[in-house]
């Protein structure tokens, strides 16, 4: 009998993906403008650091909130004591109003149908526990966020079956791809419990079209036992046209909400978080919105394993409850994201690199297929290693996102200063120019601070075959 459980010793967490391992290399040698100017620049982290000054300005103008005071009196003891896991009513109301504001108030949300969770990671896993059993499956369009291999599968035992999307139609979901994924699951004797989508997409940085959303709603409508989860954590980052359309808006347009004869409303669930739109991943604030009373009840009970602190809820209920601040923040944040995205696209263009046209998110889906030595995932991993070790940029290879075509990469732009992004583009441009020279040598683009250049560690070479196998499925 083993000393530890099978779960503790299994290797299905996904932490050995190149997506996460690139972070480890960054942490060993992080770029710093003064202390380590030749270090690795982190472009693999989708954080929004562009609007912290707006949040800090609000806090400075409302010191009683961060001091946990109300009407001049301390409420610290009240917040420090046990709170019911249903959450503070004031915060739930402020959160659903903020979600409606992001969607142009075209739809509204009932605070009684929202479940608070410790981030969207917890929200998505909780929904898996509510909607599927061990060995059941969810269909996910590719490319998708690498963390889903951990969030959806690791503890739940739920399987992911990819909906293979391709570049020829900008990676949009098609009916044929959806049906092929469903048939693949049936061939593997998997019970498909639903479809999970990210809208706006991570890693594509694009919003879903109405046609795609209607296709997915029609798909689950035809199958009475299937759910649709719409992860909308980037909904407030849409900075260009077309505008964001929530799946709830489509349900409303089609008269499929609760007062209709259809039960589709009962099988559509929305995940949200303040990690991306408000730039607060460290606050661990996520949510599930569902009109299914049974799901809300079960998810609320499960939320006791990952609660949002009362202090966090109190502070954010005041901040989001300031309607003028919330509206101005959303508008200004979008403008800043748009300017920064244009800076990245311009820098890539100067380096001879194009990317998928995007209108949302904190990243671009970048086409480096012309830089591959061959049209294989092995060549993609070799290119990725050069960019990490020689160019010293941590970016995410498409194979880690289960992209079916080698040569695509995700580059983040909102977690650094303009000067750092400019330096990253200069490094990349120099690398492309050297690659075009055809000398074939692994020479550092930026030099090294001391000693011999570190060779790629063993995990980098192991990843090539594993990620290629994932991409070939």
pLDDT in tens, 102-151: 999 999 999 999 999 998 999 999 999 999 999 999 999 999 999 999 89
pLDDT score, position 360: 97
Per-residue pLDDT reduced to its tens digit, 45-77: 999 999 999 999 999 999 998 888 888 888 888
CATH 3.90.1150.10 holds for 6-46+331-472: yes
Q: Which residues are catalytic?
A: 145, 231, 233, 276
6-46+331-472 and 67-321: identical CATH topology: no
Res. 223 pLDDT band, cuts 50 70 90: confident
Residue 464 has pLDDT above 50, yes or no: no
Tokens found for residue 122 = 């917890």
Helix 52-61 vs helix 310-321: angle between axes, to the nearest 10 degrees? 90
Per-residue pLDDT reduced to its tens digit, 343-384: 999 999 999 999 999 999 999 999 999 999 999 999 999 999
Q: Domain locations in the chain?
A: 6-46+331-472, 67-321
- Number of other residues whose CB lies within 10 A of the CB of residue 15: 14
For 285, residues 6+ apart whose C-beta sits below 8 A from its C-beta are 116, 118, 119, 273, 274, 275, 308, 312, 316
Q: For residue 390, give the DSSP letter.
A: I
**Where does 16-123 show beta strands of DSSP type E?**
41-42, 69-70, 73-74, 114-117
pLDDT score, position 14: 62
Per-residue pLDDT reduced to its tens digit, 295-348: 999 999 999 888 889 899 999 999 999 999 999 999 999 999 999 999 999 999
- Which residue in the block uniquely carries the two structure tokens 């960054």? 26
CA–CA separation, 108 and 99 (whole Å)? 8
Q: What is the pTM of this model?
A: 0.88
Res. 470 pLDDT band, cuts 50 70 90: very low
- Which residue in the block uniquely carries the two structure tokens 């999970």? 196
CATH of 67-321, one of 3.30.420.10, 3.40.50.300, 3.40.190.10, 3.40.640.10: 3.40.640.10
């Amino acid at each position: 009998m083993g000393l530890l459980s099978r779960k503790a010793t299994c290797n299905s967490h996904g932490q050995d993906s190149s997506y996460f391992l690139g972070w480890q290399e960054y942490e060993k040698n992080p770029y710093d403008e003064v202390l380590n100017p030749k270090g690795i620049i982190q472009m693999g982290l989708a954080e929004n650091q562009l609007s912290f000054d707006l949040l800090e300005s609000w806090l400075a103008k409302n010191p009683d909130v961060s001091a946990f005071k109300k009407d001049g009196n301390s409420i610290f003891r009240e917040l420090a004591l046990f709170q019911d896991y249903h959450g503070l009513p004031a915060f739930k109301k402020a959160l659903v109003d903020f979600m409606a504001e992001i969607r142009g108030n075209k739809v509204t949300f009932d605070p009684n149908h929202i479940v608070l969770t410790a981030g969207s990671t917890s929200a998505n896993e909780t929904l898996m526990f509510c909607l599927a059993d061990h060995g059941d499956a969810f269909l996910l369009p590719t490319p998708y966020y690498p963390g889903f291999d951990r969030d959806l599968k690791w503890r739940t035992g739920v399987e992911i079956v990819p909906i293979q999307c391709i570049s020829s139609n900008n990676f949009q979901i098609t009916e044929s791809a959806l049906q092929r994924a469903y048939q693949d699951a049936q061939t593997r004797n998997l019970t498909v419990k639903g479809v999970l989508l990210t809208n706006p997409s991570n890693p594509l940085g694009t919003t879903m079209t109405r046609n795609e959303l209607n296709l997915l709603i029609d798909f689950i409508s035809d199958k009475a036992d299937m759910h649709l989860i719409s992860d909308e954590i980037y909904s407030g980052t849409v900075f260009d046209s077309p505008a964001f359309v929530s799946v709830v808006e489509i349900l409303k347009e089609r008269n499929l909400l609760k007062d209709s004869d259809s039960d589709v409303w009962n099988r559509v669930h929305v995940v949200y978080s303040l990690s991306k739109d408000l730039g607060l991943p460290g606050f661990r604030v996520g949510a599930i919105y569902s009109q299914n009373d049974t799901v809300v009840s079960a998810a609320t009970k499960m939320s006791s394993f990952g609660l949002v602190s009362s202090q966090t809820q109190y502070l954010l209920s005041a901040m989001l409850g300031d309607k003028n601040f919330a509206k101005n923040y959303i508008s200004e944040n979008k403008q800043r994201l748009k300017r920064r995205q244009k800076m990245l696209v311009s820098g890539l263009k100067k380096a001879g690199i194009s990317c998928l046209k995007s209108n949302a998110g904190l990243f671009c889906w970048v086409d480096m297929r012309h830089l591959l030595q061959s049209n294989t995932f092995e060549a993609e991993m070799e290119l990725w290693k050069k960019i990490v070790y020689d160019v010293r940029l941590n970016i995410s290879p498409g194979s880690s996102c289960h992209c079916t075509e080698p040569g695509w990469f995700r580059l983040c732009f909102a977690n650094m200063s303009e000067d750092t992004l400019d330096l990253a583009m200069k490094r990349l441009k120099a690398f492309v120019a050297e690659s075009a020279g055809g000398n074939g040598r692994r020479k550092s683009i930026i030099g090294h601070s001391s000693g011999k250049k570190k060779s790629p560690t063993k995990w980098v070479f192991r990843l090539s075959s594993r990620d290629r196998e994932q991409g070939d499925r």
